Structures are given as C-alpha cells and as structure tokens.
Structure 1
Amino acid sequence: MKKYLLTLTTVLWLCAAFAQNDKYTNAMLPKIALLDSNNSVDEWKSLSNAFERIADAEKTKWEPYYYASFCMVTAGSRAMPTDGSMGDNTKISDPYADKAEQLLDKASALSKDNSEIYCVSKMIHSLRMRGNPMARYMTEGAKASEALEKAKKLNPYNPRVYILEGEDKYYTPEQYGGDKDEAKKLFEKAKDLFSIDKAITPTEPQWGQGLVWYFLSQYK
C-alpha cells in the first residue's frame, strides 16, 4: 500500500509538472511567433513587457527574460533617428539599453555561458554606441565586438551570430570597415546554419530568418 501511494504521488507530481510546462509553453509561443515581425516601437515594448511578466511568474526560466531583453533593445534600435545623425542621442538610446541590460542580467543568472545571451549583449552595447558614436565607439563598440566573439566561441553554429556580424558589415561605411559583399557572405552563412539549427525545445531562440531573407533580397 505504501509503495502504491508513493507511485501515485510521483505520477501526480509528474502530471502537475507537465501541465505547468504546457502552460508556460502555450504562453510563450504566440509571443515568440511575433519576433520576426516588423513591429513598431510600442509593439516591441509591449512584447517585452509580456515576456517579463511570464519571466517573473516562472522565476527559473532564462528564455522569457532573454526575449524581454531582446524586444526592449530592438524597440530602442527602432526608436533611434534614421537620418544618419552622429550626435548625442543618449536620451533615446540609454533608457532602452538600461532596461534591456537589467533583463539580460536576469537571464544570464539563470543560464551561464549562453551564446544567445551574448548575442543580445552585443545588441545592447551597439545601441549604447549608436547613442553617441563619436564618444562611445572605442568603449561600447569594443564591448559589442567582444560580446559577439564570445557568442561565436560558445556556439560557432549559431546563425544569429552571423546575422549580427553581417548587419555591422552592411551598415558600416566602407571607410570604417564596412563591406556589403562580406555582409552577403555572412547572411548566406546564417541562412545555411538555419537549416541545421534545430531547437531542443520550442521556446529556445530561433528568430532571424526573416532578417536573412530581407538582407539577401537587397542584393537582387
């Protein structure tokens, strides 16, 4: 009888655990599906807030904090001026970067040495640099490069590493090291890696294919 009760307790515990996991996955997937969309600044912020609420409720999952950070830094990038201004726009960039960094720190505390987390760290440092390129290139620019190299070292098969590297080559003027032909090679590498980049769970990062298609379409 005691053995039966122990077995029944184990089964009930497993059922509860699976149900909780299903609830988490069902909450995450509709939001993850929006990551390759052309969202507005406000939509990215709203999506970040939604992921943060899930993260705070779960407490032990790194992915929702990661996605919340990704969405916030993307919102910041979208909020930046598009006129090529090299002036001081830190009042725009830094609040987004600060919030994104806070969220990413929570993700990192739950998942050490994670290539995906270093990719978003690169994005945050790049956003800070864009806030004042002339003053921050040597500091935030260097930190962005270091984060991307760390991401590549941790997982050289991560397609998002090459998307971010390709974006830098694509948008940087030639006199400062930009090269659109080299960028194309990086986007093509990312495209190839997506064919073998199979997430173990449905909530792991898979974003970026839309960006690859967009950039490669610019060469046609």
Structure 2
Amino acid sequence: MLKTKHYILMIVTLLSLSIHSQSNYEKGMEKAFSFWELGDINAAEQLFERIANAEPTEWLPNYYIAQINSLKSWEEKDATIIKAQLDKAQSYLDIAKSISKDNPEIMVLQAHIYTNWVVFDGAFYGMKYGATISELYENAFKIDPENPRVVFSKADWAYGSAQYFGQDTTPYCKEIKESLELFANFKPVSKFAPNWGLERAVQVLNECK
C-alpha cells in the first residue's frame, strides 16, 4: 500500500513538473514574441536561445532563432556579419530538423536561408543552391500543398527566377494569388506555430500587377 501511494505521488509530482515546465515554455515564448512585436529583435533572439536550451525537445525556439538571423541578413552588406548570421541560422535550423523531421515549415526556412546566400552572391551561390532551393519547395509542397507559406514561397522563388531570366511570370503570379486564399483559411497547428507570410505575399502580388 505504501509503495502504491509512493508511486502515485511520484507520478503526480512528475505531471506537475511537466505542467509547470510547459507553462514556463509558453510564458517564455509569449515574452519573446512580445519583444519581437515591439521591434527588439535582439532581445527576442536571446530569449528564444534560453528557451531552446531549457526545452531541448521543442523545435520552435530553434526555428525562430534561425528565422531571425535569416531576416537580419537581408539588409546586411558586410560579408563577415552575413556569414556569422547565416551560419548561426543554419546551426539552429539543423537542431530544429533533428527534433521535427520532414517538416515543411522547416523546409521553407531552409530554402530562405539558401536564398539569403544567393542574394548575397548570386554568381557563386546561385549555382550552388539554386536547384536545392527548388527541390526543397517541391518536397515541402508534396507534404503540405495547402500550407500558404509553402505555396507562396515556392511561387515567389519561381517568380524571381523567371524575372531574372526574362521569362513569363504570369503562372507564378497566379500561384501567388492562390496562396492568399490559403492564408485566409489557414489555422496554425499550435499557438506558437509559424503563421507569417501574408503581408509579403500581398506585396509580391502587387508587384506582379
């Protein structure tokens, strides 16, 4: 009887610790997003790093660290800084991949990181990553063809490539327009799951017109 009570007490304690840990995770994620919304991207990144260290089975903190560093690199011109940012982005995205395999959201962000390199030096990285980027989008689309970030990013990459090579962009503009309907109906699978991309899709569609 005492052993049974001890076992039940141990289970209750473990459940309580799990709930407490999850509560801390949610509070931390909410705080990190609040920093981001206020424009303090460095504070958001630092908090996501602490959460990632504390919650080794959660892929999302690692994903957002990677995304922040990818976003930082878009406007950066210093080669040393870009390399540091994109190397960090890749490092954390690799962790996210190891936690959540065959995840289309991660595939899209991986394609974005490679695109960052192409934007930085198209002559070298276009040859290195161009086909890989297209393949990532194709694989993500096979897994989740209703995901608006997958559909838009795939079309946006094809649209940019068509522009670069002087080809007809009409079919890709059509796909971008279709992605807006997916954005309108999209429901994130969880509270902190990726839910970005609509504003960029609208912007690119306006450029198509």
> If the TM-score is normalised by the length of the shorter chain, which range does it land in?
0.7 to 0.9
**2:1 maps to 1:12:** no
Note if contact 2:188-2:194 (Cα within 8 Å) is conserved in structure 1.
yes
- Any residues of structure 2 matched to 1:17-166 within 5 Å, and which? 17-32=18-33, 43-80=40-77, 90-91=79-80, 93-166=82-155
- How many residue pairs are counted as aligned between the two chains? 208
Please state how far the C-alpha of 1:151 moved relative to its aligned partner.
1.8
Unaligned runs of 5+ in 2: none
Against the structure 1 CA distance between its residues 212 and 120, is the aligned structure 2 distance closer, same or farther, given a 3 Å change threshold?
A: same
Please state how far the C-alpha of 1:219 moved relative to its aligned partner.
6.3
Identity %: 27
Bigger relative contact order, structure 1 or 2 (CA pairs below 8 A, ≥6 apart): 1
Against the structure 1 CA distance between its residues 75 and 175, is the aligned structure 2 distance closer, same or farther, given a 3 Å change threshold?
A: closer
Distance 2:93 2:166 in 1: 29
Which 4+ residue blocks in structure 1 deviate beyond 6 angstroms?
Answer: none
User: Match for 1:13: what amino acid?
Assistant: L
User: Cα deviation per residue 1:12-62 (whole Å; 9 max; x = unaligned)?
Assistant: 321221121011012113434676x695xxx44543333122111212211
Note if contact 1:68-1:103 (Cα within 8 Å) is conserved in structure 2.
yes
Against the structure 1 CA distance between its residues 202 and 135, is the aligned structure 2 distance closer, same or farther, given a 3 Å change threshold?
A: same
Note if contact 2:35-2:41 (Cα within 8 Å) is conserved in structure 1.
no
Note if contact 1:44-1:75 (Cα within 8 Å) is conserved in structure 2.
no
* CA RMSD in angstroms, aligned pairs only: 2.8
Q: Secondary structure at the match of 1:112?
A: coil
Against the structure 1 CA distance between its residues 134 and 127, is the aligned structure 2 distance closer, same or farther, given a 3 Å change threshold?
A: same
Please state how far the C-alpha of 1:90 moved relative to its aligned partner.
4.3
User: Cα deviation per residue 1:78-117 (whole Å; 9 max; x = unaligned)?
Assistant: 325xxxxxxxx74453322211111111111111111111
Which residue is equivalent to 1:185?
174
* TM score, norm. by length of structure 2: 0.83
Distance 1:215 1:58 in 2: 36
Against the structure 1 CA distance between its residues 217 and 90, is the aligned structure 2 distance closer, same or farther, given a 3 Å change threshold?
A: same
Unaligned runs of 5+ in 1: 81-88
Structure with more of its chain in helix, by fraction: 2
Please state how far the C-alpha of 1:5 moved relative to its aligned partner.
3.7
